Amino acid sequence: MQGKMYKGLILPKLSWQGKTSKTFGELVVEPLESGYGVTLGNALRRIMLASIEGAAVTSVVIEGVNNEFAVIPGVVEDVLQVVLNIKGLVVHNTTGESGKMRLVKRGRGPVYASDISCDAHMSIVNPDHLIANLAEDGKLDIDFFVEMGRGYVPAQWPYAKSLQQDGRIYVDALFSPVQRVEFRVEKTRVGEAIDYDKLYLSVTTNGAVKPPDVVHYAASVLRTQLEHFLSATEIPFNEISVGIQPQAVASPTAETHRNPTKGLPVELFLRPIDELEFSVRAHNCLIGAGVKRVIDLVNLTDDDILKIKNFGRKSLREVKEILQAFNLSLGMNVKELDLKRLIKEQEDEAGL
């Protein structure tokens, strides 16, 4: 394959929608080659949900307690409830090393995560998180042991030992800082081409890691894994694709005014609506009303469609969303005579 000429690929541009917070961000990637939206979106989502490293409390030592079913004098909650509350702590670790945290609290009142002191390389992300409530003579003394990991790990109790000599209680650990990842893919038009993908990737975290860092980590994992599939020197698509640009979008000049299709391919309007992949209900209602081609559909208004038998507002929303993916809309008022004129002009220009 050495010396072979390869065709470049469209290189996408990435941008974060609006202001990205510590816990939420939406990444927009466009344009992508057709089909790449689902391929990349699903791969990145799976990695973000399962493989992002995070810090979590894996065990605790509570003074005067040697098992999770005990009761602490002067504490409203029992040990089991306190341990459940400890699982809700969100820890930010700057170095990736294990560490310790300590809590010492006396006297009546609530005990919050802000009362915990941490090693220098760690901090509590949710300081308002409730740990327990103390009575007048209450006292709570806890050592927390924090480790790094991936995903969810059940409490790592030593085999055949229910009670530990140091009174340590092991805790189920949810290491992953990622709470939710969603992606959706829309079709986007670039010039005359309408089959490019536009990927929206929404990331929600617990605040220990920012969404851009999560995407960076996931992309690094994916790239590292894929490198092992290479059987020879990697084809430098980033280099051979530099400078390759999709056809520019036509400017709103007299040419656009002359073109009733607004720069979209004429063939798109003559396609059957079957190719738009509506739901069975919406498709059957439209066919029953004589709407068989895209041009028949885009020339209708909202009111026209709602007058079709058994066609409701939910189906109307579906139609609008699918049309929008092709940069189409209702009420375009495209005349078939104009389409025929454009087809004839294109044939004349091609010398047919």
Q: Is 284 found in the same domain as 212?
A: no
**For residue 188, which amino acid is it?**
T
Residue numbers in the chain where pLDDT is lower than 70: 1-3, 160, 162, 242-263, 346-352
Distance CA(333)–CA(257), nearest Å, equals 13
Give the β-pairing of 139-150 and 99-106. Answer: antiparallel
Q: Is 190 found in the same domain as 200?
A: yes
Q: Is 79 found in the same domain as 18?
A: no
What pLDDT is recorded for position 160?
Answer: 67
Q: Is 164 found in the same domain as 154?
A: yes
What pLDDT is recorded for position 76?
Answer: 93
What pLDDT is recorded for position 251?
Answer: 39
Distance CA(47)–CA(54), nearest Å, equals 14
Structural domain containing residue 273: 254-349
Q: Is 328 found in the same domain as 264?
A: yes
Q: Is 161 found in the same domain as 91?
A: yes
**What is the domain-level CATH number for residue 155?**
2.170.120.12
109 contacts 76 by C-beta, under 8 angstroms: no
Q: Is 57 found in the same domain as 44?
A: no
For residue 6, is it within any domain?
A: no
Residue linked to tokens 């520019």 = 248
Distance CA(10)–CA(243), nearest Å, equals 9
Q: Is 157 found in the same domain as 69?
A: yes
What pLDDT is recorded for position 221?
Answer: 94
HSE at residue 145, side-chain half, CA atoms within 13 A, is 14
Q: Is 138 found in the same domain as 78?
A: yes
For residue 245, is it within any domain?
A: no
What pLDDT is recorded for position 248?
Answer: 43
Q: Please give the distance of CA 199 from its chain centroid, rounded to a whole number.
A: 10
For residue 142, is it within any domain?
A: yes
What pLDDT is recorded for position 201?
Answer: 95
Q: Is 166 found in the same domain as 59?
A: yes
Q: Is 266 found in the same domain as 123?
A: no
Q: Is 224 found in the same domain as 258?
A: no
pLDDT in tens, 190-249: 777 778 899 999 999 999 999 999 999 999 999 999 999 988 888 888 777 765 665 444
**pLDDT above 70: percentage of residues in the chain:** 89
**What is the domain-level CATH number for residue 264?**
1.10.150.20
Distance CA(127)–CA(151), nearest Å, equals 23
pLDDT in tens, 4-37: 777 888 889 999 988 889 999 999 999 999 999 9
Distance CA(339)–CA(345), nearest Å, equals 10
Overall number of domains in the chain: 3
For residue 104, is it within any domain?
A: yes
